[in-house]
């Protein structure tokens, strides 16, 4: 039986650690400009609601004027209107780095929905839940959620989105 030297073991261990760190770095995005594209495998969108489709997630700048937060709750979800519906998922400041999530909804959407968003970053991360419903007369449009990551550079490591249908005044 041949013996493996300590140097070989240390070398293989060091190479493995470097590969692990490089893999983590590739699975995150450093926010340094507001024109970076956020599409990537670190965005996890789940949930299926008839008439609502997850469309895209991009990094950009918080728009001017900044969108207001949704005023909806599980018991009284906010009504979405035809066309564009923009909501701030936390506190939005014009020009800050932002994670921008878009859902499209059609006239087949009924009742109320719950959208949850969780952003994991070296700065400016957190979670929010929005409760929305379609207008009395079915309309089609988009729901754009802005998560303000902040004005300074940060490293974004995960965006987790959830979508579910609500039943009556409660969302599971």
As a whole number, mean pLDDT of residues 104-109 equals: 92
Confidence bin at 105 (pLDDT 50/70/90) = very high
Q: What is the mean pLDDT of the chain?
A: 80
pLDDT on residue 1: 55
Beta strands 43-46; 154-165: pairing state: parallel
Confidence band of 109 (pLDDT split at 50, 70, 90) = confident
Residues whose CB is less than 8 angstroms from the CB of residue 60 and which lie 6 or more positions away in sequence, other chains included = 34, 35, 98, 100
Q: Which of 10-14, 40-44, 77-81 has the highest mean pLDDT?
A: 77-81
Give residue for tokens 């949704």. 70
The pLDDT assigned to 25 comes to: 38
> 3-class SS at 26?
helix
Q: Give the DSSP H or E segment for 12.
A: helix 6-26
pLDDT recorded at residue 19: 44
| Residue 68 pLDDT greater than 50, yes or no | yes
Query: Percent of the chain scored above 70 by pLDDT?
Result: 74
């Amino acid at each position: 039986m041949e013996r493996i030297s300590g140097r070989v073991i240390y070398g293989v261990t060091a190479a493995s650690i470097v590969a692990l760190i490089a893999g983590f770095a590739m699975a995150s995005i450093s926010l340094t400009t507001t024109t970076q594209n956020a599409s990537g495998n670190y965005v996890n969108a789940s949930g299926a609601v008839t008439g609502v489709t997850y469309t895209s997630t991009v990094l950009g700048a918080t728009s001017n004027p900044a969108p207001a937060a949704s005023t909806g709750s599980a018991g009284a979800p906010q009504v979405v209107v035809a066309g564009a519906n923009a909501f701030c998922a936390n506190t939005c400041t014009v020009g800050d780095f932002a994670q921008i999530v878009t859902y499209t909804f059609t006239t087949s959407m009924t009742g109320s929905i719950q959208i949850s968003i969780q952003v994991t970053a070296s700065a400016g991360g957190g979670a929010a839940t929005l409760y929305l419903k379609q207008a009395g007369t079915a309309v089609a449009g988009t729901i754009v959620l802005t998560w303000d990551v902040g004005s300074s550079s940060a490293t974004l490591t995960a965006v987790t989105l959830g979508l579910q249908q609500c039943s009556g005044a409660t969302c599971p």
